[in-house]
Structure 1
Amino acid sequence: MPEGDTVWLTARRLHHALAGQVLTRFDLRVPRFATADLTGRSVLEVTPRGKHLLTRIEGGLTLHSHLRMDGSWRVFAGGERWTGGPAHQIRAVLGTGERTAVGYRLPVLELLPTHEEERITGRLGPDLLGPGWDPDTAVTRLRADPARSLGDALLDQRNLAGIGNVYRCELAFLAGVTPWLPVGELSEETMARLVATAHRLLTANRDTSERRTVPGTGRRRPLLYVYGRAGAPCLRCGGPVATTSRRSPGPAAPAGEPTGDERVTYWCPRCQSGPAPDPGPHS
């Protein structure tokens, strides 16, 4: 699932493939920009901002994309067969003399003047993988609404940028509380530790496609503590990991991001204190 670490790695791969190269093919398969043609222009850089990808192109233009739940960018060598989904799922093709970047299932894709990037990034909180990472501001923003659940506060990219549902579940487990606990019940010190853990985990996982929150190695050792492990024994207490996919009304989220109550949640009822709904059938 694309989160800040996945986006960072995607940006690095796209940058290595495209930056400094002249576009020989530019094809956006969305109605609004279907006629845009930037062939002959150079790609300046590809940079991540939270869960957003910004491809800056000669002439003051930026291609903005967002992976959301299952979008992806793939890079192929010349003549290599494209793999990543059926052709009708392709939303963007950026080709150079040596490489072709293909964007699959991109729900957000727009071309805008580079000087208007602030319209996209200006509302975001501190970027967990950005050069200006500011943990103190992240803690302050997370604690700004004491009645809001921890899970929703973590998903809100206005508080800190880069966390998705996997890290939401894992961070709550590591903090020993459920994602439904109001942030006002967490001390500032606890929240600071949680933010530091988020930064450490995303940094550790940004260079690999195999996300891990459980330390150690071994083929049989789980990569994650609770996410995706419904019914499996908790790695701390041995009790079954619980899950729920129940949807319930939650606070509005920016830029179409689902709230925590709209996500499948995994947690350990024994290790995590705080409110929780009835577990799902696979718990």
Structure 2
Amino acid sequence: MPEGDTVLQTAKRLDLALAGHVLTRSDLRVPRFATADLTGRQVLDVTARGKHLLTRVEGGLTLHSHLRMDGAWRVYDPGDRWRGGPAHQIRAILGTAQHTAVGYRLPVLELLRTRDEDKAVGHLGPDLLGPDWDPEVALRNLLADPARPLGQALLDQRNLAGIGNVYKCELCFLARVTPWLPVGELPSPVASRLVTTAKQLLEANRDRPTRTTTGGPTPALPHPRAREPLFVYSRAGRPCLRCRTPIRKMEQDARPTYWCPHCQSGPIG
């Protein structure tokens, strides 16, 4: 599931493949931009902003994309077979003499002036993996609505950018509270530590091929050698790594949410 760490990895792959090269193929398969042609323009860079991707090209243009639940960008060498999905799922093709980047199932794809990038990403809070990261601002944003459930507040990219459903569940477990606990009920040290842990986890996973929250460097993790990569996410019915109580699952805002009913205190649902 694409979250801030995997989106950053995608940006790095695209940047390595495209930046500094001239586009020899451009195909945007969305009605609004189907006639746009970027061929002949050099790709300047590909940057991640939270869970958004910004591909900047010559002439002051930016291709903005968002992966959401199952979107993906794949990079192919000449002669490679495209394996990212059936052809009807392709939304964008950006090709150079060296590589071809293909965007599959992209729910957001738009071409805008680079000077107008704020229209797409200006609403985002501090980026956990970006140069604008500010833990104090992130904490203040997170606690701005005291009655809001913690899970909702963590997923709101206006508070802090980069957390998705996996990290939501894992962070609530590490904080020992349920995702339905109002953020105003978090003790001040726990709230501050939550923001710090979020940063540590995404930093630890930014270059890993497989995301893990159980083997990171932060002292907040009680089982640094656990074989399971995650504490609770997608582990419904399996024993908690702390207490062996079966992990439970329930939807929160139409998203599958996992927690330990013994280790995590607070309301449910």
CA distance in 2, matches of 1:26, 1:48: 21
1:190-210 CA distances to partner (integer Å, 9 max, x unpaired)? 111000000000011111230
152 and 27 in structure 1: CA distance in 2 versus 1, 3 angstrom threshold = same
What does residue range 254-273 of structure 1 map to in structure 2 within 5 Å?
A: 260-273=252-265
Task: Indicate the residue corresponding to 2:8 in structure 1.
Answer: 8
Task: Indicate the residue corresponding to 1:252 in structure 2.
Answer: none
Answering whether residue 179 of structure 2 is matched by residue 179 of structure 1, we say yes
CA contact (8 A) 1:139 1:188 kept: no
Answering whether residue 250 of structure 2 is matched by residue 244 of structure 1, we say yes
1:192-247 CA distances to partner (integer Å, 9 max, x unpaired)? 100000000001111123000011457xx1100000000000000001000013xx
Answering whether residue 145 of structure 2 is matched by residue 145 of structure 1, we say yes
- Secondary structure in 2 matching 1:264: strand
CA contact (8 A) 1:142 1:159 kept: yes
CA distance in 1, matches of 2:126, 2:254: 24
1:1-44 CA distances to partner (integer Å, 9 max, x unpaired)? 00000100000000000000000000001111111111010000
Where has structure 1 moved over 6 Å in runs of 4 or more? none
Which blocks of at least 5 consecutive residues in structure 2 are unaligned?
216-223
Task: Indicate the residue corresponding to 2:218 in structure 1.
Answer: none
2:45 partner letter: E
Task: Indicate the residue corresponding to 1:86 in structure 2.
Answer: 86
CA distance in 1, matches of 2:45, 2:150: 35
Q: After TM superposition, give the deviation of residue 187 of structure 1 in Å.
A: 2.2
1:66 partner letter: H
CA distance in 1, matches of 2:28, 2:173: 41
Task: Indicate the residue corresponding to 1:227 in structure 2.
Answer: 233
1:38 partner letter: L
CA distance in 1, matches of 2:208, 2:15: 16
Number of equivalent positions: 261
1:242 partner letter: R
Task: Indicate the residue corresponding to 1:253 in structure 2.
Answer: none
CA distance in 2, matches of 1:96, 1:65: 19
- Secondary structure in 1 matching 2:5: helix
- Secondary structure in 2 matching 1:266: strand
CA contact (8 A) 1:22 1:39 kept: yes
Which blocks of at least 5 consecutive residues in structure 1 are unaligned?
246-259, 278-283
Task: Indicate the residue corresponding to 1:156 in structure 2.
Answer: 156
1:200 partner letter: Q
CA distance in 2, matches of 1:181, 1:119: 32
- Secondary structure in 1 matching 2:253: helix
Task: Indicate the residue corresponding to 2:219 in structure 1.
Answer: none
Task: Indicate the residue corresponding to 1:36 in structure 2.
Answer: 36
CA distance in 2, matches of 1:176, 1:188: 14
1:65-114 CA distances to partner (integer Å, 9 max, x unpaired)? 00000000000001101111101000000000010000000000000000
- Give identity over the alignment, percent: 70
CA contact (8 A) 1:9 1:207 kept: yes
CA distance in 1, matches of 2:236, 2:174: 17
1:241 partner letter: I
CA distance in 1, matches of 2:162, 2:43: 24
So what's the TM-score if we normalise by structure 1? Answer: 0.91
- Secondary structure in 2 matching 1:265: strand
CA distance in 1, matches of 2:225, 2:239: 18
